[in-house]
Amino acid sequence: MLSGITVQVPAKVNLGLNVLPKRADGYHNIESIFQTINLCDTITVLLDEKQNSCCIACEELDLPLNNTISSTYKAFCQLTGCTAGVKVNLTKRIPSGGGLGGGSADAAYFLKALAYLTGVKLTDSLADGVASQVGSDVFFFLHSGESEGKTGSAIVTGRGEFVKPIRPRNDLFFVLVFPGVHSSTKEAYELVDKAYSNNQKVICPKISELEAVYNRPVKEWTFANTFTSVLVQKYTVIGDALEDIRKSGALWSDMSGSGATVFGVYESEQSAKKACEQLHKSWSHCVLVT
C-alpha cells in the first residue's frame, strides 16, 4: 500500500437549479446541471497504521469535529471494515458555505484517496453508500467524469443522488463574486418553502430540456435558480453583486447552489479577465475560473 497521496479538489457551479416542492419525507428534489471549475482545495492523505483515527489539519478554516472528511472516514470504515488511520492536510481555497460544493468535494476526493491508499476497490455501491451518509452533493463529485485536466458536467436529479454525466463545455469562462454574506442551506430551503406556500414559483427549463439549453449559445440560456430570488429579497447585497456582474458584460449570470456565491459567464477569457478587474474595484473577493 502507498503511504500518501495529494489530490486537487475542484469546486462546482450550478447552471440552473430547480428546487421542487418539499417531499413527504421533508426533503426536496432538484433538477440542475453541475459543472466542475478549476477553483480547487488541496488534500494530502497519509496512512497512519499506528492508530485507527482520522486526524485533520487545516490552517485556513477551523473545522468542526464532525465534518465531511471525518464523516467520510467513519462511513468508509463501517462499510469496509478498514482499520487504517489517516492524517489529512487540507488547504482550503473554495469558500465554505458559498454554494460551490467545497465540503462535498473534499469528502468525495478524500474517499477516492482513502480507497486508493488502502487498496479497497471503490465500487459504485461503496461510493454511493458513503455519499448517502455524508451529503447529497458528494454523489456528483464521485460520478461527474471529472479528472485531472478534464471538466466534469452532469445532470443531477433526486436529492442529488442521481447523476447523469454529459459532454462538458470547455468554452465557458466564469467570474465568481463572493458578496460577503452567508446563507445556510437550511435557511435557503426554508425561504423556498415559504415562497411555494405563497404560490411564488420560478420558471425553469424542463428536465428534458436541460442538456439542450446547456449546449445553446450562453446568451440564449434560460436557466434559473429557485434560490436566487428568495435570497436576493433577504440579502440585497447578492442582488447588487449580480447587477454589477451583468454590467461587466456577462452573457449570463446567477447564483450558485443555495448561495451566496454569484457568477457571470463570459464569451472569452479576455472579456472575463477584464470583467474581473472591473468587479474587483467593488468586490474584494472575486476570481476568474474555467
189 and 157 both lie in a single domain: no
157 and 118 both lie in a single domain: yes
* Helix, coil or strand: residue 27: coil
103 and 125 both lie in a single domain: yes
61 and 150 both lie in a single domain: yes
12 is known as an active-site residue: yes
pLDDT the model gives residue 1 = 55
Check 41, 92, 112, 137 and give the catalytic one. Answer: 137
| Residue found by looking up cell 440585497 in the block | 236
154 and 215 both lie in a single domain: no
108 and 242 both lie in a single domain: no
Q: β-strands 262-266, 153-157: how paired?
A: unpaired
Count CA atoms within 13 Å of residue 79 on its CB side: 22
144 and 178 both lie in a single domain: no
111 and 182 both lie in a single domain: no
Distance (Å, rounded) from C-alpha 153 to C-alpha 213?
Answer: 14
Distance (Å, rounded) from C-alpha 256 to C-alpha 100?
Answer: 6
Q: Which are the contacts of 170, defined by CB distance < 8 A and separation ≥ 6?
A: 151, 290
CATH label of the domain that carries residue 227: 3.30.70.890
The domain boundary residue, chosen from 165, 199, 228: 165
The domain boundary residue, chosen from 129, 148, 165: 165
The residue length of the chain stands at 290
For Cα atoms 30, 31, 37, give the angle at the middle one, nearest 5 degrees. Answer: 105
The domain boundary residue, chosen from 165, 190, 216: 165
In degrees and rounded to multiples of 5, residue 29 shows phi and psi of -85, 150
What percent of the chain has pLDDT above 90?
Answer: 91
Q: Tell how far CA 213 is from the center of its chain.
A: 20
278 and 218 both lie in a single domain: yes
Distance (Å, rounded) from C-alpha 150 to C-alpha 132?
Answer: 26
Q: What is each CA distance from 152 to 34, 43, 135, in whole angstroms? A: 8, 19, 19
41 and 157 both lie in a single domain: yes
pLDDT the model gives residue 150 = 87
DSSP conformation letters of 198-238: TT-------GGGHHHHHTS-GGG----BHHHHHHHHH-HHH
Check 12, 41, 106, 254 and give the catalytic one. Answer: 12
Provide the residue range defining the domain that includes 269: 173-289
111 and 232 both lie in a single domain: no
274 is known as an active-site residue: no
84-130 residue pLDDT tens: 999 999 999 999 889 999 999 999 999 999 999 999 999 999 999 99
What percent of the chain has pLDDT above 70?
Answer: 99
CATH label of the domain that carries residue 11: 3.30.230.10
* Helix, coil or strand: residue 97: coil
14 and 157 both lie in a single domain: yes
226-284 residue pLDDT tens: 999 999 999 999 999 999 999 999 999 999 999 999 999 999 999 999 999 999 999 99
Cell readout for 99 is 454554494
Distance (Å, rounded) from C-alpha 60 to C-alpha 278?
Answer: 27
In 10 A of CB 58, how many CB atoms? 17
Q: Which are the contacts of 35, defined by CB distance < 8 A and separation ≥ 6?
A: 12, 13, 15, 151, 152, 153, 168, 169, 172
pTM above 0.75, yes or no: yes
Q: What is the number of structural domains in the chain?
A: 2
